[in-house]
Structure 1
Amino acid sequence: MNKRLIALESPDFFLAELDRIAAEEGDEVYVLSHQGRHDGRDRVLRIDARADHEGALREITDRVGRPDAVLTTQEMFLTQAAALADAFGVSRDPLASVAASRDKARMKDAWLAAGVRTPQGRFYGTAADLDSADRFAYPVIAKPSMGFASCGVRKVDSAAELTEHLRKIFLVNSTVVAKERLRGAGFLVEEYVEGPEFSIDTIWYDGEPLCDAILSKGTATGPYFPDRLYYLDPRLPEETARKIEDLSHRAVRALGIGHGATHTEIRFRGDEPFVLETTNRPGAGGLFYTLFKSALGIDFHRLYYLAAVCDSADELAERAGTWKPYDLRPDTYPFWYNMPHQGHGVLKEIRGLAELTARPEIDLCLCYKQPGAVLYPEGLDADYFCSLLGTYRDAEGAPPIEEFITGYDTALEVIF
Structure 2
Amino acid sequence: MNRSLVIVESPDFFVADMTRVAEAEQDRVYVLTKDVRTTGPNVIRADIRKDPAAAMAAVRRTVGTPAGVLTAQEMFLTETAALADALKLADGSREIALRARDKATMKRIWRDAAVTTPRGWSFRSAQEVRDNCADLSYPLIVKPSHGYASCGVRRVQSERELLEHLQAVSMINATVIGRERPDAGIVVEEYLDGEEYSVDTVWFDGAAACDGLMSKGTPVGPYYPDRLYHINPGLPPSVAADIIRLSHDAVRALGIRSGATHTEIRLRGGVPYVLETTNRPGAGGLFYPLFQQAHGVDFARVLYHATVATSRGEFQAAGTPTTATVTAGTHYFWYNLPHRGSGVIREIRGLAELASREEVLRCVCYKQPGGVLYPDGLNADYFCSVLGRYQPGPTDPPISEFVRSYDEALEVVL
Residues 346 and 374 in structure 1, CA contact (< 8 A), matched pair in contact too: yes
User: 1:167 and 1:80 mapped to 2: Cα distance?
Assistant: 28
User: 1:394 and 1:98 mapped to 2: Cα distance?
Assistant: 41
User: 1:293 and 1:239 mapped to 2: Cα distance?
Assistant: 22
| Offset from partner CA, 1:18-58 (integer Å, 9 cap, x none) | 1111111121211100112322x211111111111111011
Output the amino acid matched with 1:352: G
Q: Does 1:277 align with 2:267?
A: no
In the other structure, the counterpart of 1:136 is 136
Residues 194 and 221 in structure 1, CA contact (< 8 A), matched pair in contact too: no
> How far 1:184 sits from its partner (Å)?
3.1
Residues 200 and 260 in structure 2, CA contact (< 8 A), matched pair in contact too: yes
Matches within 5 A, 1:269-348: 269-319=268-318, 321-323=319-321, 325-348=323-346
| Offset from partner CA, 1:76-100 (integer Å, 9 cap, x none) | 1001100101101102653211111
User: 1:326 and 1:146 mapped to 2: Cα distance?
Assistant: 34
Shift in alpha-carbon separation, 1:132–1:80, aligned structure 2, 3 A: closer
TM-score by length of 2: 0.97
> How far 1:16 sits from its partner (Å)?
1.1
Q: Structure 2 residue aligned with 1:413, among 384, 404, 411? A: 411
Shift in alpha-carbon separation, 1:94–1:12, aligned structure 2, 3 A: closer
| Offset from partner CA, 1:205-224 (integer Å, 9 cap, x none) | 11110010100003326411
> How far 1:133 sits from its partner (Å)?
6.2
> How far 1:177 sits from its partner (Å)?
1.0
> How far 1:143 sits from its partner (Å)?
0.1
Q: Does 1:2 align with 2:5?
A: no
Residues 94 and 256 in structure 1, CA contact (< 8 A), matched pair in contact too: no
| Offset from partner CA, 1:142-200 (integer Å, 9 cap, x none) | 000000010000001111111111111111111111221x3531001100001100000
In the other structure, the counterpart of 1:255 is 254
1:178 is paired with a residue whose SS is coil
Report which stretch shifted further, 374-383 or 137-146: 374-383
User: 1:32 and 1:133 mapped to 2: Cα distance?
Assistant: 44
Which runs of 5 or more residues in structure 1 are unaligned?
A: none
Shift in alpha-carbon separation, 1:102–1:379, aligned structure 2, 3 A: farther
1:2 is paired with a residue whose SS is coil
In the other structure, the counterpart of 1:360 is 358
| Offset from partner CA, 1:349-408 (integer Å, 9 cap, x none) | 111111111111111111110011111113333321111011111111111100111111
Shift in alpha-carbon separation, 1:322–1:59, aligned structure 2, 3 A: closer
> How far 1:5 sits from its partner (Å)?
1.0
Q: Does 1:388 align with 2:386?
A: yes
User: 1:98 and 1:276 mapped to 2: Cα distance?
Assistant: 17
> How far 1:277 sits from its partner (Å)?
0.4
In the other structure, the counterpart of 1:192 is 191
User: 1:352 and 1:164 mapped to 2: Cα distance?
Assistant: 36
User: 2:54 and 2:35 mapped to 1: Cα distance?
Assistant: 16
User: 2:330 and 2:273 mapped to 1: Cα distance?
Assistant: 27
Identity of aligned residues (%): 53
In the other structure, the counterpart of 2:109 is 110
> How many pairs are equivalent?
413
Output the amino acid matched with 2:407: D
Output the amino acid matched with 2:159: A
In the other structure, the counterpart of 1:350 is 348
Shift in alpha-carbon separation, 1:186–1:409, aligned structure 2, 3 A: same
Output the amino acid matched with 2:247: S
In the other structure, the counterpart of 1:377 is 375
In the other structure, the counterpart of 2:69 is 70
RMSD: 1.3
TM-score by length of 1: 0.97
User: 2:145 and 2:66 mapped to 1: Cα distance?
Assistant: 32
Output the amino acid matched with 1:257: I
User: 1:205 and 1:325 mapped to 2: Cα distance?
Assistant: 15
Output the amino acid matched with 1:29: V
Output the amino acid matched with 2:336: N
Output the amino acid matched with 1:294: Q
Residues 101 and 278 in structure 1, CA contact (< 8 A), matched pair in contact too: yes
User: 1:32 and 1:47 mapped to 2: Cα distance?
Assistant: 6
Output the amino acid matched with 1:289: Y
> How far 1:132 sits from its partner (Å)?
4.4
Residues 73 and 286 in structure 1, CA contact (< 8 A), matched pair in contact too: yes
Shift in alpha-carbon separation, 1:240–1:221, aligned structure 2, 3 A: farther
> How far 1:329 sits from its partner (Å)?
3.0
Report which stretch shifted further, 329-338 or 308-317: 329-338
User: 1:262 and 1:198 mapped to 2: Cα distance?
Assistant: 14
Residues 174 and 182 in structure 2, CA contact (< 8 A), matched pair in contact too: no
In the other structure, the counterpart of 1:120 is 119
Q: Does 1:212 align with 2:187?
A: no
1:6 is paired with a residue whose SS is strand
User: 1:141 and 1:207 mapped to 2: Cα distance?
Assistant: 31
User: 2:177 and 2:184 mapped to 1: Cα distance?
Assistant: 8
Residues 344 and 375 in structure 1, CA contact (< 8 A), matched pair in contact too: yes
In the other structure, the counterpart of 2:176 is 176
Residues 201 and 214 in structure 1, CA contact (< 8 A), matched pair in contact too: yes
